[in-house]
Amino acid sequence: MKNKKKLTIGLFGLGCVGGGLYEVLNRSSLIDAEIKTICIRDQNKKRTLSEYILTTDRYAILDDDEINVVVELIDDANAAYEIVSEALKRGKHVVTANKKMVAEHLDELIKLARKNEVSFLYEASVCGSIPVIRNLEEYYNNDSLSSVTGICNGTTNYILSQTNRGLTFAEALSKAQELGFAESDPTMDIDGYDSKFKLVLLIKHAFGITVQPDDIANTGIRNIKPQDLNYAAEKGYRVKLFSHAQKIGKHVLGMVAPYFVPETHFAYTVENEFNAIVVEALFSDKQLFIGKGAGSYPTASAVLSDIAALLFDYQYEYKKEQSVIDTFFTNDFSLDIYLGSSEGEIGLNELSFELEYTRFVSDEYAYKTGRVLFSELKAMDFNKKKHLFFAILPDASVGLSENPRITGAQKNKELIPG
């Protein structure tokens, strides 16, 4: 396609990513685009930009016919939804990095974009500078994907990297907060919610189905203890928080959970705030993407890439939707885990095992390994079980039930009309 037009941008948010975007866009001579207006929350905050470009009124952007692109980079998912949906209704292209907002309203926003013949792009919402969504859309369009696995949250990876060096979880979290890697309330990161919202988008672009966030189980690293880390170290493992999706026959399963990984695993040496994604397909086998998943410039670079794509009228085509009429999401499977308990056998007995491989009990700690039903793991909400920690064992095989139950909204799945 030919480069047809100049992009005039209305930017919502001038924080870490918004400020980074403003800087990198002004330093780039390759993109014919300019930011006309920036909507901010606090007009009294001291800034180096001219006050004439700033506003606190969202409609100064939404009502401006000269602005043909809205870039949304704010933290409030509800406000972001209102802005993005209204921009699409008004025929403006949208670029966003808000994974929670996109995951919670995905099909609705896709329909709005199609109805109004505009683009809705969100590469920056998953793994920062790693171009995973566009690769799933384009490069893997004709390849049969079997799984997507990744470290999708730099905060938890930084914390786990520090615990591997001897810090406790509390010490590592405090250090991450001091460096600005973790928020004062780190719940979204350490309980796996951030990773789950990203997994919703990975599943959509890898397998063509839309999964509601509530249907995906997310267990984070909040309750990891020194004894769990010692067990991993003794076995030669490291702990990583993965977003994982896998297709088995006509079913897709997905989860966010801690994993024990051996030295031979791709993620073993992925440290600190870096993210990594492995895509496995029938013909191309395994391919690894690594990059910084957060921060001003890495995320801004992904936003800038989406803006540049708009110059050529780029849109996600969601071609995989058309071939997955009989594909459904399920939590009805079993897998092998490690379960640690600071309350001895009493804690271990809270979760029933189909098979038990090993068991250890001492005055201070207890653990066992074995096979469990994943639906029972999901029902327990391990983020609230301070005395328990589980991790999925290396090379754990997944046992899909003979007649897997379809999960949530997938029971009444409809294709998004083209």
The pLDDT of residue 50 is above 90: no
* Residues contacting 70, CB < 8 A, separation 6+: 9, 10, 12, 61, 62, 83, 84, 87, 92, 93, 94, 95
Give which of 330, 333, 332, 324 is closest to 206, Cα–Cα: 324
Only one residue has tokens 């690769």, namely 135
**DSSP line for 325-356:** TT-EE---EEEEEEEEETTHHHHHTTS--SEE
pLDDT of 229 over the 80 cut: yes
Helix (H, G, I), strand (E, B) or coil at 257: strand
Residues 159, 174: Cα–Cα separation, whole Å = 9
Beta pairing partners, 289: 277
The answer for residues whose C-beta is within 8 angstroms of residue 384's C-beta and 6 or more apart is none
Residue 207 has pLDDT above 70, yes or no: yes
Sequence letter at residue 109? L
What is the distance between the alpha carbons of residues 273 and 261, in angstroms, rounded to a whole number?
18
Check pLDDT > 70 for residue 72: yes
175 part of the active site: no
Residue 233 in tokens: 């170290």
pTM: 0.94
The domain locations on the chain are 7-128+298-317, 133-294+325-412
pLDDT score recorded for residue 414: 44
pLDDT over 70, % of the chain: 96
Q: Over 90: is that where the pLDDT of 268 sits? A: yes
Q: Which CATH architecture has domain 133-294+325-412?
A: 2-Layer Sandwich (3.30)
pLDDT at 413 over 50: no
Residue 2 has pLDDT above 70, yes or no: no
Which candidate in 92, 196, 198, 247 is catalytic?
198
Helix or strand (DSSP H, E) at 188: helix 187-190
pLDDT at residue 70 greater than cutoff 60: yes
Kindly state the percentage of the chain with pLDDT values over 90. Answer: 75
Fold category of 7-128+298-317 in CATH: Rossmann fold (3.40.50)
Predicted local distance difference test score (pLDDT) of residue 234: 96
